[in-house]
């Protein structure tokens, strides 16, 4: 992760403390305010902070947890000695992957007005969030979406056309087809490209938590004498785009509030009696048939019609097999950068990939190539390095699609557990990353 000199200059001019870590939890940038703060607290040279692991300097730091969860932590109130401050923490994404995290530390003068300070914190953090994520959003364009197959080309051309309008968009497809990439590409091709983009997986939170994350909240301070607020994602991306993934998992009550946002351009934070005007474009995604959910009463018909006017149906990978060779090359290019070695693939391995049905779509393809990249010995992926079920004429190939999906899900869970660990803590972290409950994780492993 590399910051431009102009970005460093902007951050160093700020009164807030700015700290950025990479995926190894190493501090890659700390502005002058943050360096002086940490140095005074730890009695070290301010110039020696960058390059250190954050936990070595601050064992209780919460920023590394943002790397694992992929979710921001907002309005965390801390106190060290006589110093009181608020911290907002955000993940940093590049090409859809988390490459680091940033914390914004705002020091509070206890003699000043807390309400005014919080308003200033929110305003400045909107600017910082926009600056940090601007390069990520700009980097994901329709040019990155592989579309050699006719269905892929038609889908991409339609999505590119509707990017120019202001109406909400519904992305419909199976899991693993790249709905998040399409959402960012639509945002970047729109007139909102210079404004913030944020995404949230609706399946990860219960209704009350999701409402607060989306619309923010008002609540009493610890002393009860003042009111403090938490900004929601809708307000944070005002002027930009909000991507609601797995919207089918949202409660009916929240669906009605999203409909109100679309129709009236207003939200009401939790605990507030006032309406807040906002200008946000909604892009929603679902991997289930929402028409069935509407009939069953699980999804609002009004919200469905509001979203479905501009619906993008992303074809599954098995219906666009012409795209596989180009996708393989694109993924191997990404992995080569990550692993710092040039990866190639043999013709026999590519033939095996072309003969697979890909129930897990592009996500499964990436998972298979990641697995193969770690098992190949000379940077060259051969058929021997591929998982046994890929492209072989075995009994497994005759399994129904439902069973193949289950097989892929289990492989993906095991791969994620290998990273986080097989204990309870690791399983909880894996479930969060995969967007499923802990109970679902156990059930899918059976």
SS3 (DSSP) at 30: strand
Residue 38: per-residue pLDDT? 83
Assess whether 179 and 92 both reside in one domain: no
Cα distance from N-terminal residue to C-terminal residue, the chain: 39
Decide if 137 is inside a domain. Answer: no
Q: What DSSP line would sit under 241-300, residue for residue?
A: EEEEETGGGS-HHHHHHHHHHHHHSEE--BT--S-EE---EEEEEESS-HHHHHHHTSS-
The segments of the chain whose pLDDT lies below 70 read: 1-2, 42, 95-96, 108-138, 219-229, 392-404, 418
Residue 129: per-residue pLDDT? 57
Assess whether 153 and 254 both reside in one domain: yes
Structure-token pair, residue 291: 């028409």
SS3 (DSSP) at 240: coil
Domain boundary among 256, 289, 315: 315
Q: Is residue 339 within a helix (H) or strand (E), and if so which, with residue range?
A: helix 324-339
Assess whether 181 and 240 both reside in one domain: yes
User: Are 233 and 277 in contact, with CB atoms under 8 Å apart?
Assistant: no
* Residue located via tokens 């609002």: 300
Assess whether 306 and 343 both reside in one domain: no
Domain that holds residue 358: 319-445
Q: Which residues contact 414 (CB under 8 A, 6 or more apart)?
A: 445
- Domain with residue 276: its CATH number is 3.40.50.300
Give the count of domains, the chain: 3
Assess whether 294 and 395 both reside in one domain: no
Assess whether 103 and 199 both reside in one domain: no
User: Are 260 and 266 in contact, with CB atoms under 8 Å apart?
Assistant: yes
**399-422: string of b/e by CB count within 10 Å (b at 16+)?**
beeeebbebbbebbbeebbeebee
* Residue located via tokens 């040019």: 143
């Amino acid at each position: 992760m590399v910051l431009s000199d102009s970005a460093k200059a902007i951050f160093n001019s700020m009164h807030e403390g700015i700290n950025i870590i990479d995926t190894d939890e190493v501090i890659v940038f700390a502005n002058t305010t943050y360096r002086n703060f940490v140095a005074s607290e730890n009695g070290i040279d301010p110039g020696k902070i960058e390059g250190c692991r954050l936990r070595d300097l601050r064992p209780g730091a919460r920023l590394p947890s943002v790397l694992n969860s992929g979710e921001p932590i907002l309005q965390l109130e801390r106190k060290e000695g006589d110093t009181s401050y608020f911290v907002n923490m955000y993940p940093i994404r590049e090409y859809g992957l988390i490459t680091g995290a940033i914390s914004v530390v705002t020091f509070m003068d206890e003699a000043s007005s807390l309400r005014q300070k919080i308003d200033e914190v929110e305003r400045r953090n909107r600017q910082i969030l926009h600056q940090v994520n601007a390069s990520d959003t700009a980097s994901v364009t329709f040019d990155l979406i592989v579309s050699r197959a006719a269905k892929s080309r038609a889908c991409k051309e339609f999505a590119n056309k509707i990017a120019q309008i202001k109406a909400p968009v519904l992305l419909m497809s199976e899991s693993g087809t790249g709905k998040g990439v399409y959402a960012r590409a639509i945002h970047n091709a729109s007139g909102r490209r210079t404004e913030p983009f944020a995404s949230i997986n609706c399946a990860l939170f219960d209704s009350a938590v999701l409402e607060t994350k989306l619309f923010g909240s008002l609540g009493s301070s610890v002393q009860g004498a003042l009111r403090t607020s938490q900004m929601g994602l809708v307000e944070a991306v005002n002027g930009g785009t909000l991507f609601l993934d797995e919207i089918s998992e949202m409660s009916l009550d929240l669906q009605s509030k999203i409909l109100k946002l679309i129709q009236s351009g207003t939200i009401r934070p939790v605990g507030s009696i006032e309406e807040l005007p906002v200008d946000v474009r909604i892009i929603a995604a679902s991997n289930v048939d929402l028409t069935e959910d509407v009939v069953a009463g699980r999804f609002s018909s009004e919200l469905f019609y509001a979203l479905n006017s501009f619906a993008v149906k992303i074809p599954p990978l098995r219906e666009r097999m012409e795209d596989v060779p180009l996708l393989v090359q694109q993924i191997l290019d990404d992995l080569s950068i990550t692993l710092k070695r040039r990866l190639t693939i043999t013709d026999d391995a590519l033939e095996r990939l072309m003969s697979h049905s890909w129930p897990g779509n592009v996500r499964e393809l990436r998972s298979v190539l990641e697995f193969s990249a770690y098992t190949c010995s000379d940077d060259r992926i051969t058929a021997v390095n591929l998982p046994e079920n890929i492209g072989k004429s075995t009994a497994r190939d005759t399994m129904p699609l439902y069973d193949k999906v289950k097989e892929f899900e289990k492989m993906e869970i095991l791969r994620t557990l290998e990273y986080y660990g097989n204990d309870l803590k690791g399983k909880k972290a894996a479930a969060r990353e995969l967007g499923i409950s802990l109970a679902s994780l156990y059930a899918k492993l059976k």
